[in-house]
Structure formats: C-alpha cells, structure tokens
C-alpha cells in the first residue's frame, strides 16, 4: 500500500510536468502564429489577430492555474480532510520528506508529524479548492481553444487570412 501511495504521488508530479510542457508549447505556437499574422502585410487590419492574442494570454494564464493545481501534492491535501487516515502517513520517513519538499517546504518534517502540524504549516484551512478550480478551468479552456481553433481554421481555409 505504501508503495502505491508514493507511486500515485510520482504520477501526479509527472502529470504536472506534462501539463507545464503542453502549456508552454501551445503558448509558443500561438506566439508564432501571432508573429506571422502581425508581420504579414495583407493581414494587419484583420480582427483575427485579436483572437490569437486572447488565446496566447489565456494559455499563459493556464500556467498559473497549473502551478496552483499542483502546488501542494494531493497526498498532503488529503491530510486536511482525512487527518491521520491520510495516505501520507503510510509513507516512510524519507518519502514523506520528499513529498514535503515538493510542497515548497525546505524545513525538515518531524519524524512523526501530526495532521495539525501539516495543516498549520501549509495553511490548508485557508486554501482555495485549486483542484476543483483547475478541473473547471480546464474544461472551459478546452472549449474556448477548440472553438477558436475551429474559427481560425475556417477563416484561413476561406481566405487565407486576407481580410
């Protein structure tokens, strides 16, 4: 069980790295399209550049949401609701230290920390529900991106960004 819990933590960290990379690449992609449109002489008066601008800004904002979503590992967030029954307490001391450092804490976690200590140190009682906010944002982001890409593609296929 202890190994499964730590494995889940490692998977969560990999997912964070994947989402961060995707956000970066999508943002760079929109930047390239934006620069192309900005410097193409026949395009400068078209309102499509505004769509690309907003998509680039939205994608950059996604980096903040992604960071907040993964800022504190789920193993530690579970301590707030499950107290001593949280999977975090099934980990060995070295694994707990590793998870603790991933939450941005450089100080050493006591050998047998209490749920109250973790909640107090990470301010879990005063934390927004970033996991829920992140899921809602992701759905909204995907809808906006898909509609915008469909719109941009249809305009490009019609007139090649000439208007």
Alpha-carbon gap, residue 132 to 124, rounded angstroms: 15
Question: pTM higher than 0.85 for the full model?
Answer: no
Mean pLDDT for back-to-back runs of 10 residues, the chain (163 residues) = 83 90 87 75 65 83 90 93 92 91 86 91 91 95 93 82 56
Alpha carbon distance 53, 148 (integer Å)? 11
For residue 78, what pLDDT is reported? 94
Other CB atoms closer than 10 Å to residue 63's CB: what's the count? 14
Question: Which of 61, 60, 67 lies closest to 24, judged by CA?
Answer: 60
Q: How many residues does the chain have?
A: 163
Instruction: Tell me the C-alpha distance between 48 and 43, whole Å.
Output: 9
> Token match 């941005």: residue?
104
Residue 91: enclosing H or E segment and its boundaries?
none
């Amino acid at each position: 069980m202890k190994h499964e819990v730590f494995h889940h933590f490692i998977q969560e960290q990999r997912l964070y790295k994947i989402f961060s990379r995707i956000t970066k690449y999508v943002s760079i992609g929109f930047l390239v399209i934006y620069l192309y449109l900005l410097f193409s002489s026949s395009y400068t008066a078209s309102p499509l550049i505004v769509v690309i601008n907003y998509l680039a800004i939205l994608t950059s904002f996604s980096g903040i949401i992604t960071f907040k979503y993964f800022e504190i590992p789920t193993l530690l967030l579970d301590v707030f609701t499950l107290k001593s029954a949280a999977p975090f307490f099934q980990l060995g001391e070295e694994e707990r230290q590793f998870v603790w450092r991933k939450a941005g804490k450089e100080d050493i976690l006591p050998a047998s920390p209490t749920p109250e200590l973790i909640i107090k140190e990470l301010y879990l009682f005063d934390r927004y529900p970033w996991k829920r906010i992140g899921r809602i944002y992701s759905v909204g982001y995907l809808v906006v991106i898909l509609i915008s890409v469909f719109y941009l593609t249809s305009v490009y296929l019609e007139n090649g960004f000439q208007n």
